[in-house]
Structure 1
Amino acid sequence: MRIQARTLSRTLAIDFETANERRDSPCAVGLAWIEDGRVVRRAARLIRPAELRFSPFNIAVHGIRPRDVADAPHFPEAMAEFLPDLPGALVLAHNASFDVGVLAATLQAYGLPVPAFTSLCTVQLARRQWPGQGRYRLSAVAERLGIAFRHHDAGEDAFACAEIALAALRETGAPDLATLAAAMRLARPRFGPAADAA
């Protein structure tokens, strides 16, 4: 399904870190908003998962421990400022199935509506734009493009994701990321219960 750029109200990248193997266990979120071909805003928040259970594997990846989020807000409070930006948006994520899955699972766990938006996976975008590179992990793509960031920090990862998408945008000469995603057939509609209102 092709998505027309005019139907998308904004563009932002999102990244989650999770406490354990469950998709509904985010312990950190990072976001980066894109306007006029550049990142114009960045934000990051720690999140106290509903179940304060951290797996050693996840801690080894991101370094966040239970004590770090003991006084952090739960997901609804941590995300309250950001959720209004999602309906009708183009939401970027590096390995979007994971981050979009975390978002949807956690919204559902708290009984919150899942908004209607369009996602763009920058792993798939990088594979399409720069074929034959072998590795397409966030750190590998960012290094090839000269993007400096601290990996597995949610705010930094969201920024790197946004910059990867912007690098592809510059190379292709597309007018915006929504148009590029549609042209490459990488736009994925995510229909929430308020889809018609988005």
Structure 2
Amino acid sequence: MAGDGRRMKVIALDFETANEQRASPCSIGLAWIEDGQVARIEHHYIRPPGNRFARFNIAFHGIGPQQVADADEWPDVLERLRPELDGALVLAHNASFDVSVIRRTCEHYDVRPPSFDYLCTVQVARGVWPELSSHKLNVVCGHLGVDFAHHDAAADAYACGRVALAAASLNGVTHVRDLPGRLGMTLGRLSHDGYTPPKGAVGLRRARVHG
């Protein structure tokens, strides 16, 4: 695993895609977690291959070909973000989707993917709040009282970061990096050599923290 959890960058991210292909990102949001809070948020539009959008996706997130006509394609966006992502701990809600977007889009353009460890906050939420009927981002954030504009990539990244911070607080850990060990989970890993998915604990109950 990369680096010391107390110095490592922690970045929550979220993608929106233009069509049924994972290799069609049209928007990425990122939220940096520092000193126990979301410290910075960024959003980048991305022009997907062929600028092809499906009606279902447009209805889902409200982004269409006009908004991204002048945006950079993934290789240029990635090169701007690579110094931030390489060596970071990346958080994503349903990380299998977001990591597959990176993998498939890098394969499409034949570019090297970034290298980072990652944690799925859906798995975190299932372990920390097993009583919830669903662990979708809007449901978990409703339980936590976190307001955000769902299906906006930057807002979803912010909300993902807030979920991780709330889980860390409830489990008595100072750093989000320490959550997997407390919850009996393992981090996933993406690199140019391939990827390893994270593993979540099944049926885990929230740790009892006495203050």
* Separation in 2, partners of 1:52, 1:194: 27
Q: Is residue 2:87 matched to residue 1:88?
A: yes
Match of residue 23 from structure 1: 22
The SS at the match of 1:80 is: helix
1:42 Cα shift? 0.5
Give the percent of matched residue pairs that are identical in Structure 1 and Structure 2.
46
Match of residue 4 from structure 2: 6
The SS at the match of 1:155 is: helix
Match of residue 42 from structure 1: 41
TM-score for the superposition, normalised by structure 1: 0.91
Distance 1:172 1:5, change over 3 A: farther
Distance 1:5 1:169, change over 3 A: farther
Q: Is residue 2:175 matched to residue 1:176?
A: yes
Map 1:121-132 → 2, pairs under 5 A: 121-132=120-131
1:141 Cα shift? 0.7
Q: Which amino acid aligns with 1:58?
A: N
Match of residue 166 from structure 1: 165
Q: Which amino acid aligns with 1:101?
A: S
* Separation in 2, partners of 1:103, 1:51: 17
**Preserved CA contact (<8 Å) 1:121 1:186:** no
Match of residue 67 from structure 2: 68
* Separation in 2, partners of 1:105, 1:4: 23
Match of residue 57 from structure 2: 58
**Preserved CA contact (<8 Å) 1:115 1:191:** yes
Match of residue 135 from structure 1: 134
Deviation per CA, 1:44-91, whole angstroms, max 9, x where unpaired? 011111122111111111011111111111112223321111122110
Q: Is residue 2:192 matched to residue 1:192?
A: yes
Structure 1 stretch displaced more, 140-149 or 75-84: 75-84
Q: Which amino acid aligns with 1:130?
A: W
Structure 1: tracts of 5 or more residues without a match: none
Q: Is residue 2:76 matched to residue 1:116?
A: no
**Preserved CA contact (<8 Å) 1:23 1:102:** yes
Match of residue 145 from structure 1: 144
Deviation per CA, 1:20-57, whole angstroms, max 9, x where unpaired? 01111000000001111111111001111112211111
Q: Which amino acid aligns with 1:6?
A: D
1:151 Cα shift? 0.5
* Separation in 1, partners of 2:3, 2:128: 19
Structure 1 stretch displaced more, 28-37 or 113-122: 113-122
Structure 1 stretch displaced more, 177-186 or 28-37: 177-186
Count, aligned residues: 193
The two structures, once aligned, show a CA RMSD in angstroms of: 1.9
Structure 1 runs of 4+ off > 3 angstroms? none
* Separation in 1, partners of 2:153, 2:75: 17
* Separation in 2, partners of 1:158, 1:94: 8
